[in-house]
Structure 1
Amino acid sequence: MTERLENYVAGRWVAGDGPGTMLSDPVTGEALVGVSSDGLDLDAAFRFARETGGAGLRSHSYASRASMLGEIAKLLQANREHYYAIALANSGTTRNDSAVDIDGGIYTLSWYAKSGASLGDTFALRDGADASLSKDQSFRVRHVWTPTQGLALFINAFNFPSWGLWEKAAPALLSGVPVIVKPATATAWLTHRMVADVIESGILPAGALSIVCGSATGLLDRVGAFDVVSFTGSAETAAKLRAHDAFVLRGARLNVEADSLNSAILCGDAAPGTDAFELFVKEVVREMTVKSGQKCTAIRRAFVPDVWLADVVEALSARLAKITVGNPRNESVRMGALVSRAQLDSVKAGIAALSQEARLVFDGSKVPHVDADPAISACIAPHLFVVDDPDHAHRMHEIEVFGPVATVAPYRVSADGLPEAHAVELARRGGGSLVASVYSNDDGRVGPPALALAQTHGRVHCITPAVRESQTGHGNVMPMSLHGGPGRAGGGGELGGLRALEFYHRRAAVQASSIAIERMTGIASLPA
């Protein structure tokens, strides 16, 4: 009989009722493990997390909680090979792609452990400078952040079962807020194994970390006024969440990371044969193929000067032709599978939709799969489109195909003002995105388009030959930088260094005598 993953709630492991859902290998179709959250006592789970977990975490200082994060990072590092094996079986990813998720999560934990230590043995955070409320300076106000008395509920996406957990849990736990994670069912096994290892280690206080595997039914009904919810997924689901009483009536906080039509812009000075041109082509192909394009930050639209459209398409196609697709157990394979056959159907539907207004210039359907049966596996090779008239196109600016699919479109380089103004205008038609990248041979040229893009993007990634070796990549989310975006990207914001702690704190103004204000202890100032 296939193993059933238990849920960890109210301080104990509990199996869900009913048949549950079976997780499978997206390459071979093999049944792996089952999950179910039916029949759980969610009231007890939330109460235990808030009361026992929250009190246990808040009894420690920031520095002490940072030390816990460091110990968790060491524990996960020691168990990396187990996690790689699960990612291979359940997500169908190559080792390099698994590293983006697994090592990325561990690195984020380590970063917050180190940065959190700088807050010292304190229990609250200072927000800005004090201000006088009286002419004689005897009465003052100080704004402080204190940890929310609720819990953090994470409803996560299928593409990053490791990083998706730890990039949220690291600042939450550092803040002193207990976590209940509901991983996406399709890839819940890796999240479950990591949580189980942390629970078994005893690093965290009881109730600080819980996991519910299976349906999310009933979770939002338990969310209270001082709880916070972080959701990663589709804009359609996010809209349903926003209408829930937990946020409309009870005023709980909600952070959303949703759909994103991210862009890459090749500047007008980056002619074929130059360093910037080569960096652009390499990055577009990498973002199309890493994790089989299943990244919220992947490049979906590439805008290039109209005179070089043919050169870009030729260069991209030549690189894409070298990508081997199939079973990641075969060492020759560079790109594995999508997470499921259902996701494969979704990607194929997106390809069909884009085809109605774009021409296909690299047809992945003609690429053979290595050691993978097309009738069983969720493998699909890259597809590259061209839209010759992006000003009058709609689908490329509206449809995010969550797989190895991208669209190239030409723009007009201006002779005056902002040369890349047309490209910026096209990028903005995505309605708000997580990230855009700009490629130029001139370090002085990337600033103006970057600031113009900043109005509608959460992050702008600027690449010139000067950072060829040091740049972190268009799609890599670093803990020091903001992860989020306006509009259709959800309007949320995660990470951004210690700024992430603000979501898990409540700000209050303390008005008192200057003497009392000066005698307030246990408060740290967030680094600039």
Structure 2
Amino acid sequence: MTSSPTSAEPVPLRSRIGGAWVDGDGADLVDRNPARPDEVVAHGRLVGRAALDDAVAAAAAAAPGWAATPFPARGAILARAAAIVDEHAEAWGAELAREEGKTRAEGVGEVRRAADVLRFYAAEAQRPVGEVYASPRPGEQIHVLHKPVGTIGVITPFNFPIAIPAWKIAPALAYGNPVVWKPSLDVPLLAMRLTEALVGAGLPEGVLSLLLTDDGTAGALVEHPGIARVTFTGSTAVGRRVIAACGALARPVQAEMGGKNAAAVLADAELGLAVGEVLAGAFRSTGQKCTATSRVAVTETVADAFVAELVRRADAITVGDPLDDATWMGPLVSVAARDRVLASVAEALKRPGVRLLCGGHPFEDDRGKGAFVPPTVLELDGDDELWRSEVFGPVLAVRRAPTDRAALDLVDDSAYGLSAAVFTNRLDAVEEAAQLIDVGVLHVNSETAGADPHVPFGGGKASGFGPKEQGRAAREFFTATTTVYLRSAAAAR
């Protein structure tokens, strides 16, 4: 296991192809600290299409043996990997903070979350692996078997560089499939760390390959004839291209994509709770969550009080170095992301009916050199592009609604359907929200972000395609079923 170096020592980056760590021979890969872009966190070179072919060939060679490995033995490897991840949580959490921009506490929490995911799927070996049904014919049973499907292509984003890969790779491995993984090039170090943990836990050669490669090779991964299924998390635009490519090949695909998640603050809401949860949903992880709160619909009778307290507390958020324990919100993942988010706000302010309540401008001190954006709240008089398009940053749009039902309607008024929240103490309002709002995850009196590893996760509309992730729901995508009608020859006579 590679030790975590000091900030002065860039970590050497390597891909894992088959059973070997590989130094790439392609373009330079420079992993920078978004808080201080001159600081190099890790450095290596990309691999190309030949490495992809080698990885898929290694997976094909390893697939029969891995599928035949007893489920408890596969689970034991995942359990050992979880222990390795936990052991390195503090060091890897700090690396995550330097690489991606989350605060140290968030980084350590994410690393521990990845360990929890690994443990959950390790324990799948102790749960039922199929079903037995009654037959209408004497002497017969009907068995439904869940079997591995083959090599899984995994494509993951930057915003949860170890947790999202864990919740895709762990079930794929647990259910007996090899994996070829292409992570975001914004976060190659944490991808290498997760791979180190799995290899260190005893994963056989060829069962997992890590490709630090470009988007062109990622496209070739999606369409490679040796890939059985593809699981993707990223933007809706890219996700739809992945879905289209897989559709042309009749290849099953699971895609978790964008979100424009909203909270409804109803007239009876406990405003202090609502403000705190909306702030956490909007500005933790610098708003770089697919489940982040980017819209709020608040009932008019409580709007003045809610908005005033929201802005007061947003203005007080400490933005700075993610390794400083006093920091509440770190930078975006890159200077390019900073510029894109600030440009979205500037364009919105040119349109009528859009008012800036706090934030929205670049920092003028040393933070201006990094990827920092202040917590930004805007109020909209009516419909606007900011209400509909994903910004993926610390930007929150607020609209007032004349009634509680109108607030719920505003929440549901979106092309996306990942997550939502409703703040109320009325049971009838909760029931109405659950029926009306078309989302995969609904929170009541808590932020839109957050999902536990033992329950299904995923969205509808433009937010998701294919079976849900996490929990036992993952089995649907990572296995294929065979229905066996079983009776003895004697019973058939």
TM-score between the two structures when normalised by the length of structure 1: 0.84
CA–CA distance in 2 between the matches of 1:202 and 1:332?
A: 35
* 509-518 or 165-174: bigger deviation: 509-518
CA–CA distance in 1 between the matches of 2:299 and 2:162?
A: 38
Displacement of 1:250 after TM fit?
Answer: 2.9
The residue that corresponds to 2:461 in the other structure is: 487
Matched to 1:105, the amino acid is: A
Alpha-carbon displacement from aligned partner over 1:394-445 (angstroms, at most 9, x marks no partner): 41332111111111111232xxxxxx43223222221132111111123454
RMSD over aligned Cα atoms: 2.5
Aligned match of 1:285 in 279, 290, 294? Answer: 279
Find out whether 1:338 has 2:320 as its counterpart.
Answer: no
The residue that corresponds to 1:523 in the other structure is: none
* 223-232 or 434-443: bigger deviation: 223-232
Change (3 A) 1:60 1:449: same
SS of the residue 1:256 aligns to = strand
CA–CA distance in 1 between the matches of 2:291 and 2:467?
A: 14
Contact 1:140 1:514 in 2 (8 A): no
The residue that corresponds to 1:385 in the other structure is: 378
SS of the residue 1:286 aligns to = helix
Change (3 A) 1:41 1:108: closer
The residue that corresponds to 1:273 in the other structure is: none
The residue that corresponds to 2:236 in the other structure is: 235
The residue that corresponds to 1:525 in the other structure is: none
TM-score between the two structures when normalised by the length of structure 2: 0.90
Contact 2:456 2:472 in 1 (8 A): no
Contact 2:354 2:378 in 1 (8 A): yes
The residue that corresponds to 1:213 in the other structure is: 212
What stretches of structure 1 of length at least 5 have no aligned partner? Answer: 271-275, 414-419, 464-470, 519-528
CA–CA distance in 1 between the matches of 2:489 and 2:380?
A: 67
Matches within 5 A, 1:431-510: 431-443=415-427, 445-453=429-437, 456-463=438-445, 473-510=447-484
- % identical equivalent positions: 27
The residue that corresponds to 1:162 in the other structure is: 162
SS of the residue 1:343 aligns to = helix
Change (3 A) 1:492 1:383: farther
The residue that corresponds to 1:359 in the other structure is: 355
The residue that corresponds to 1:96 in the other structure is: 105
SS of the residue 1:409 aligns to = strand
Contact 1:182 1:216 in 2 (8 A): no
Change (3 A) 1:279 1:517: farther
CA–CA distance in 1 between the matches of 2:31 and 2:408?
A: 42
Displacement of 1:240 after TM fit?
Answer: 1.8
Displacement of 1:315 after TM fit?
Answer: 0.9
* Number of residue equivalences: 478
The residue that corresponds to 2:130 in the other structure is: 125
Displacement of 1:36 after TM fit?
Answer: 0.8
Matches within 5 A, 1:170-209: 170-199=170-199, 201-209=200-208
Matched to 2:166, the amino acid is: W
Matched to 1:382, the amino acid is: P
CA–CA distance in 2 between the matches of 1:516 and 1:308?
A: 75
Change (3 A) 1:83 1:427: same
Change (3 A) 1:204 1:515: farther
Matched to 1:155, the amino acid is: I
Change (3 A) 1:517 1:197: farther
Contact 2:27 2:46 in 1 (8 A): yes
Find out whether 1:44 has 2:71 as its counterpart.
Answer: no
Contact 1:144 1:508 in 2 (8 A): yes
Alpha-carbon displacement from aligned partner over 1:312-350 (angstroms, at most 9, x marks no partner): 110101111221112223333211111101111221122
CA–CA distance in 2 between the matches of 1:442 and 1:212?
A: 50
What stretches of structure 2 of length at least 5 have no aligned partner? Answer: 1-8
Displacement of 1:141 after TM fit?
Answer: 4.3
CA–CA distance in 1 between the matches of 2:490 and 2:358?
A: 69
Find out whether 1:111 has 2:106 as its counterpart.
Answer: no
